[in-house]
Amino acid sequence: MIQYPVPIVSGPEDIEKNVAQICRTVANTKAGYPDLDIIVFPEYSTSGLNTKIWSYDEMLLTLDSKEVTQFRNACRENDVWGVFSIMEPNDTPGLAPYNTAIIIDNKGETALHYRKLQPWVPIEPWYPGDLGMPVCEGPKGSKLAVCICHDGMFPELAREAAYKGANIYIRISGYSTQVNDQWILTNQTNAWQNLMYSVSVNLAGYDNVFYYFGEGTVCNFDGNVIQQGQRNPWEIVTAELFPKLVDQARENWALENNIYNLGARGYVGKPGGERENYLTWVKDLAGGEYHVPWEDKIRITDGWKYYPNGGQYGPMPEELKN
């Protein structure tokens, strides 16, 4: 995990510089750790967090863009998997872009394409992801899923990844220090509640507005922290993981095999356990009727304070180009 220094981006030319630097980092890190299997970069490491320009066309990258092609080449040339962050145009013109993560394998092919399911409201102007929580085969018996920043605060998303077979849950983030403690907490609980490793990395450093805390965290499937980074930009946080141990725990544990027990309650008292859905929120969400008891009293339900004129998409205005 690379605690990438938060980039200061004022236009597309800065994205090009970041892409070149990320690719150099892939090569240099692989040279320093020749047995490395996968390198993870934080959210916004490519595009930065400049809210004035981050959703204009010039700041967006498609999966077949020259910049993503550079990522592919870096992975192929260095025989390593990589996790990268881009902001991606919407398939439907005129709609908000997606906040996207891609996993590229060591052959330079896209192994996983994910769009952030839970943008950080009411600030992030991204369209809610439409690809669900995909899982892909990774190196050496791993099964990988990736979530982005605020996604990791939702236990339901980690459960979805595990339910679909992920044994390593990757979280890439661009958080400032306000949620540092919750970051560590949720990384641990996402791992423990689903019997899987969690691998999480955040931007690091100061962008003249906020400080980003780095603290790459690797958690074991028992919820304990295996490795913890500090707050240093460019710190490389490493850990050795054994996906087969996750698989064995899921297959052999009785006590605390909670992801299985959720759907087979009380199998000591009832042969095979109780499998009927007993969760009201699951029924309501499935029926499109999700409604918390205090919903009618919620004060902020859109981004009006931050985007009073609505989403600003399309070509970047001339006055913002430098």
- CATH classification at residue 46: 3.60.110.10
| Structural domain contains residue 105 | yes
Catalytic status, residue 149: yes
The domain total for the chain is: 1
Residue-wise pLDDT for 256-279, tens only, equals: 999 999 999 999 999 999 999 999
Rg (CA), the chain: 20
23, 67, 75, 116: the active-site residue: 116
Domain interval for residue 298: 12-320
Alpha-helix runs per DSSP H in the chain: 12-32, 66-77, 155-163, 180-192, 243-252, 258-261, 280-286
Catalytic status, residue 274: no
Backbone phi, psi, residue 111, to 5°: -90, -30
| Structural domain contains residue 157 | yes
What is the value of pTM for the model shown? 0.96
Q: Kindly state the tokens that stand for 71.
A: 């990522």
Q: What angle do CA 129, 135, 139 make, to 5 degrees?
A: 135
43, 67, 124, 215: the active-site residue: 43
| Structural domain contains residue 193 | yes
| Structural domain contains residue 2 | no
Catalytic status, residue 116: yes
| Structural domain contains residue 54 | yes
| Structural domain contains residue 38 | yes
Q: Is 259 in contact with 159 (CB distance < 8 Å)?
A: yes
Which segment, 45-54, 89-98, 192-201, is predicted with the most confidence on average?
192-201
23, 136, 149, 219: the active-site residue: 149
Residue-wise pLDDT for 28-50, tens only, equals: 999 999 999 999 999 999 999 99
| Structural domain contains residue 6 | no
Picking from 199, 203, 151, 153, the residue whose alpha carbon sits closest to that of residue 177 is 203
Fill in the amino acid letter for 58. E
| Structural domain contains residue 1 | no
